[in-house]
Amino acid sequence: MRSLTTISTLILNPKGGCGKTTIATNLAAYYANAGHETVLMDCDRQGSSLHWHRLRSPDDPAITATTVHDQKASVTLAWQYRMPMGVGRMIIDSPAGIQPYELAEYLGRTHNVIVPILPSTLDMHATMEFIDVLQRTPEMRRQRVRVGVVANRVNDRTIVRRQLLNMLEELNIPLITRFRDTQNYVFVAGLGKGIHEMRHQRFVQDQRDWLPLITWLDERPLQHVPDPDLLTV
Ligand SMILES: Nc1ncnc2c1ncn2[C@@H]1O[C@H](COP(=O)(O)OP(=O)(O)O)[C@@H](O)[C@H]1O
Ligand SMILES: [Mg+2]
């Protein structure tokens, strides 16, 4: 195990289909392969991250997957999962449609927020409005939480960069990396694997795309030490 402290990362965007679960599951697989104890918390009733986890082979590096919902009873159990001692990385996959009043519950449990964004003008516009709301939360204003954007399903790098960077500059939010629009992500998801668990040459470019994100997540410029009770979900 590499680290004794927990770094918690929330994948957040009220918009469905922008890549939250894809990023959450790939990140969990990356950390598990890097030797961290890893918890994947699925907060979406659809349970896509849990489903992905069930597809994993017993030979794959272990990830603890859990949920805040009781899937059978369709009730919210509150955050009553108890974090094992010494967990290295926690990844929280959030549902679509999160409302501003729900943000505090999520932000209080995380160090980093990744906002995936699709390269369409409408998606970018909606996401910028959401980031604006995010920046007004007490957690962000007190610099308790860092927020970075990941452009997902990007084919034309130049157009997206220009539009996105202009928008993000106004909000003072970094664009961490961009992921290609590729069936590689669909393929690995169907195996219960992450892109970093694939050995074939065709995955190398996608694996490289993750490096800026991994680096950014591990930087810890904030002095904030989260309340241990809040990390005990
Ligand atoms: N970079 C990508 N390239 C191709 N398909 C992707 C990519 N990212 C996500 N997808 C696909 O898009 C769909 C929605 O992604 P998902 O991660 O489930 O979004 P969300 O959790 O935000 O609803 C899924 O079918 C997923 O496999
Ligand atoms: Mg999802």
Q: Whose CA is nearest to atom 9 of ligand 1?
A: 19
Q: Does residue 217 form part of some domain?
A: yes
Question: Which residue type, as a one-letter code, is found at position 81?
Answer: Y
State yes or no: pLDDT of 164 exceeds 80: yes
Summary mean pLDDT of the chain? 87
* Average pLDDT for 139-161: 86
> Band of the pLDDT at 207, cuts 50, 70, 90?
very high
pLDDT at 93: 97
On the question of pLDDT at 230 being above 50, the answer is: no
Of the given ranges (59-73, 111-125, 162-176, 180-194), which has the lowest mean pLDDT? 59-73
Of the candidates 112, 115, 175, 169, the one whose C-alpha atom is nearest the C-alpha of residue 146 is 112
**For position 231, what pLDDT does the model report?**
44
- As given in the structure block, the two tokens for residue 86 are 């010494």
Q: What is the pTM of this model?
A: 0.91
List, for residues 169-179, the tens digit of each pLDDT value. Answer: 888 899 999 99
- What's the CATH code of the domain at 173? 3.40.50.300
Whether residue 149 is predicted with pLDDT greater than 50 in this model: the reply is: yes
Q: 194 in a domain, yes or no? A: yes
Structural domain includes residue 228: no
229 is a domain residue: no
Which atom, in ligand 1's list, is nearest to the CA of 23?
A: 17
Name the nearest CA neighbour of 65 among 35, 90, 98, 94. Answer: 90
Q: Is residue 232 part of a domain?
A: no
Domain-located, residue 176? yes
Tally of domains within the chain: 1
Q: Which domain holds residue 100?
A: 7-222
Ligand 1 atom nearest 18 alpha carbon: 22
Residue 53 φ/ψ, nearest 5 degrees: -65, -35
Q: Does residue 230 form part of some domain?
A: no
Q: Which residues line ligand 1 (CB under 6 A)?
A: 16-22, 48, 96, 152-153, 179, 181-182, 185-186, 189
233 falls within a domain = no
CA of 195 to the centre of ligand 1 (A): 13
Percent of the chain with pLDDT over 70: 83
- Which of 13, 21, 22, 127 for mutating ligand 1's site (highest number of atoms within 8 Å of CB)? 22
Q: Report residue 223's pLDDT band, with 50, 70 and 90 as the boundaries.
A: very low
